[in-house]
Structure 1
Amino acid sequence: MGNPHVLVIPFPAQGHVLPLMELSQCLMNHGIRITFVNTQENHKRVMDALVMKDGMGDQFHLVSIPLVQESSENTGQLAEKLVEAIFWLMPKKVEELIEQINASDSDKITCVLADPVLNWAMEIAAKKGIRRAVFYCAAATQLVLRSRIQKLIDDGIVDDDGIPKKEMFQLSPTMPVMSTAHIGFLWLGTSKMQRLFFENTVKNNPSIQLAEWVLCNSTHDLEPAAFNTDPKFKQIGPLLARNRFGDSAGSFWPEDLTCLKWLDQQAAESVVYIAFGSTTIFDQTQFQELAMGLELSNRPFLWVVRFDIAAKINDAYLKGLQDRVAPRGHIVSWAPQQKVLAHPSIACFISHCGWNSTMEGISNGVPFLCWPYFADQKHNENYICNVWKVGLGFSKDETGIITREEIKSKLEELLDNGKYKDNALDLKESLMNNIKEGGCSYNNFKHFVEWLKT
């Protein structure tokens, strides 16, 4: 066999691109050639934000394929068109890319490593006789739910259209009791988009069976029932840039590194870090309540405010807020999150509970205040609050708003009770043991690399 050459295909969203980029860099550091596929728009965003454009090396090749052009359509319509293109147009483009690479003088593709949401990726690889692996960037429990979709339908938990019919359920005696609100693929935007994802999930299982490796950014310690349910699922998490002594890549926005200097000036375990990922949207009332809650708390805070996080929130409002809270508060448009969470001044993390943020927080022993938005984030909140006991959730008032008083109260409850920090530090130690030499995640990744090279 020639030099291993892996074609990496993420689902084209920030939370999927980042961990697959991290895994790809880990593979590259073991001498494996990588071709990483992004949509044209995401490719531009990654390249514009990349701080190490010249440091990726000849073994790492970023390529793009066109899908949906920007248009005057509203965000929801554009998102629906993009999802349709991902499921129907993207497979043809990827197959053409494989043929183009394999017809050239460069190393031929020896393995396709893809997000299992892209069920067509394993089918294309199998058809072409190429080795196959999937990497799931969310909780392994969510992958169990995806693989048991027919059981969910047969048991009347959801109907054939993916509409929840029961509130609480248990897949098996070893799995925790769950709510249908925790099934991530049932809560994804518009009804049309939800239906597209549900139909894709139903088709997903045969393609996952084609995968020779099913890798998860998690550990057995975090989700024992999930890994015991299917021994084919292999833990390799937590995937963090600092574990390989490098910088993270794959962000869609340039990181504001000035916040690290600001953190250097703060007392140990004093700063509240607030970040809601790449998709969370607030209305004006909720955004202003959050701002007032942070002011009311009278604690130092670092807040990531994307340019599109809330309607009718302009630069003048943000500047006024920054002026009022300075120097106690610091606002940036995007942060180097892994470095922020590893900083000794961080006290807690107000988070949307995306799986990447969850893994980054618990890997640094940081307790959480949970503010889930959609998809699998309610499930992750349940883990954080009720299973691992490293955080608290917020309660909404009768109008559906998390009030400033609630924010202040929960901050005090979290930070005044040392049990949450103690539990977070215990969990951190467990995760770090997994990625050390001899740990389960370390060994699984090592065996995967050996398999790629044989």
Structure 2
Amino acid sequence: MEQTVASPHVLLFPFPGQGNMNSMLNLAEFLCNAGLHITFLNSNHNQQRLLRFTNAQERFSRWPKFRFQTIPDGLPADHPRSAATFFEILDSMKATAKPLFREMMIMASRKESGLWPPLSCFIIDGLMPFAIDVAEELSIRVIVYRAISACCLWTFFCLPGLFAAAELPFQGGDVEDDMDVTIKNVPGMQGFLRRRDLPSFFQTKDPTDPIFQQIGVECQKMTQAYGLIINTFEDLESPVLTQFRSQVPNLYTVGPLHALTLRRQHSSSSMTSNIAVSNSLWDEDRSCITWLDSQPPKSVVYMSFGSLVVYDKDTLMEFWHGLVNSGKLFLWVVRQDSINISGGEGTSFLAEVVDGAKERGSLVVGWAPQEEVLSHPALGVFLTHSGWNSTMEGIYAGVPMICWPFFADQQINSRFVSEVWKVGVALDKCDRWTIERVVKDVMEQKREVLVESIDGLAKLARRCISEGGSSRSNLDRLIQDLRSVRESVYDTSTSTLVG
């Protein structure tokens, strides 16, 4: 019998959203590079789109110990999978994926073939507690991964205190008129956090809203797991992370993950910096890079609201007029599925927007290689929905931000960008006059101050991912912890665990 020490075999299972999958794939690259066996479990829908629009299959084929596997999300192919249907996706994953996931994991934890040892650890997106239940049932170590900010996660843990202090649910007659009331019972955020800055799920008068129960379960699972991975860095969220460690002491802050990936790719002899690397679920229109090449430095407003946001016609037109009236050049990402107009009217309306931008020397595209756009010298400001991946990418690139958050963690991210880190400005209203004024302010009068602040944060981010930096050290610690999970003897002749 031929025996070898089994290499750790880690399952990575992201929630089926663009941001969740993208950042976890960045993590997967590092674990692969450390020589670990990695199974990346994607939804069928996302895997099809990933393989259609990227070179991910080719990139990851460099590691023989990496493989993709898929699982259905239970939704029809034409389901919008947008912010408005977020909880439908959650419910469908729980109903459809849970029994299939359990069956797959029972098989994978007992027996594999060839190079693949049994699973030794799960890294599970915290939005899917059912997958954590399966890991606990199989007595497999589980580490929770969250693709949102630590400041948002900390408010989740503070929910019981907010209820006990009667700060939730919101009290009063017209809640909308009282959204600037200061929140007092989120330790570390007193003095600047307002009702409107809490995660959008909290903004309800109904104390029985099932989302509160869902968040409670997620928090409980985080405290029971072996550890928690967050795509952030110590110098960015240190005060919040100090609070967080009172509940979850074993934190791995490993961000910005996209920057760690870029650094490894650019230093690798097998890849060069001019090879496009993407984990996108949309077809990236690279003509925007050629267009940016012809624009003056710091002259362009880049506007993108991510992969889930859907506009109504009125909102889109307010942004359109605000950008045009500012007199600034703009690069605007408008996904084909992001316009909430029925039938062929949506297509014709988008065509008008595209043509109108072109007439004014600007550009509208369906999707863009965002990391490359943000690092381009022509970029002057990033008008963003304040999704966490976008926020981290904007900080690392050193581009001041204008924030218009939509849902989930985006409200609190926006507040930190504008009031804590002071690297951007939050829109308080979505009308053309406000948008015009803020764009001009950030591109002109406020630019120097904002650039100084964000340059400082960008330098701290680079230090964190450098050798000896906090994120790099935490990643090394994560890899060592994964290697220590199972130092078992593996019989390569029978593909069974024997020790």
TM-score above 0.5, yes or no: yes
SS of residue matched to 2:46:
helix
Match of 1:85 among 92, 95, 98: 92
CA RMSD of aligned residues (A): 2.7
Matched, 1:69 2:75: yes
Structure 2 residue identity aligned to 1:431: A
Per the alignment, residue 237 of structure 1 pairs with 255
Larger relative contact order, structure 1 or 2 (CA cutoff 8 Å, min sep 6): 2
Distance 2:189 2:409 in 1: 17
Match of 2:214 among 177, 181, 200: 200
Is the Cα–Cα contact under 8 Å of residues 234 and 444 in structure 1 kept in the other structure?
yes
Distance 1:74 1:414 in 2: 34
Spell out the pairing of 1:36-435 with structure 2 (5 A cutoff): 36-57=40-61, 58-70=64-76, 80-102=87-109, 103-105=111-113, 106-159=116-169, 167-171=181-185, 173-177=187-191, 178-184=193-199, 186=201, 195-231=209-245, 232=249, 233-240=251-258, 241-245=261-265, 248-312=277-341, 314-326=346-358, 328-396=361-429, 402-416=430-444, 417=446, 418-435=448-465
Is the Cα–Cα contact under 8 Å of residues 219 and 237 in structure 1 kept in the other structure?
yes
Shift of 1:135: 1.5
Q: TM-score w.r.t. structure 2 length?
A: 0.82
Structure 1 residue identity aligned to 2:93: I
Per the alignment, residue 38 of structure 2 pairs with 34
Matched, 1:448 2:478: yes
Distance 1:275 1:74 in 2: 18
Structure 1 residue identity aligned to 2:364: I
Q: TM-score w.r.t. structure 1 length?
A: 0.90
CA pair 81-136 structure 1, distance change in 2 beyond 3 A = closer
CA pair 385-72 structure 1, distance change in 2 beyond 3 A = closer
Select the structure of larger CA radius of gyration.
2
Distance 1:253 1:187 in 2: 31
Unaligned runs of 5+ in 1: 397-401
Distance 1:74 1:291 in 2: 24
SS of residue matched to 2:232:
coil
Distance 1:20 1:196 in 2: 27
Shift of 1:345: 1.0
Structure 2 residue identity aligned to 1:356: N
Distance 2:354 2:99 in 1: 48
Distance 1:364 1:67 in 2: 34
Structure 2 residue identity aligned to 1:223: E
Is the Cα–Cα contact under 8 Å of residues 50 and 56 in structure 2 kept in the other structure?
no
Distance 2:230 2:255 in 1: 7
Is the Cα–Cα contact under 8 Å of residues 122 and 210 in structure 1 kept in the other structure?
no
Per the alignment, residue 28 of structure 2 pairs with 24
Is the Cα–Cα contact under 8 Å of residues 384 and 404 in structure 2 kept in the other structure?
yes
Shift of 1:368: 0.6
SS of residue matched to 2:222:
helix
Q: Deviations over 1:362-414 (max 9, x none)?
A: 11110011111111111011011111111112232xxxxx2222222111111
SS of residue matched to 1:53:
helix
Shift of 1:278: 1.1
SS of residue matched to 1:109:
coil
Per the alignment, residue 269 of structure 2 pairs with none
Structure 1 residue identity aligned to 2:285: D
Distance 2:468 2:94 in 1: 39
Distance 2:457 2:231 in 1: 15
Structure 1 residue identity aligned to 2:101: V
Structure 2 residue identity aligned to 1:322: V
Distance 1:256 1:430 in 2: 31
Q: Deviations over 1:313-371 (max 9, x none)?
A: 64443333333433721111111111111111110000000011000001111001111
Distance 2:154 2:369 in 1: 31
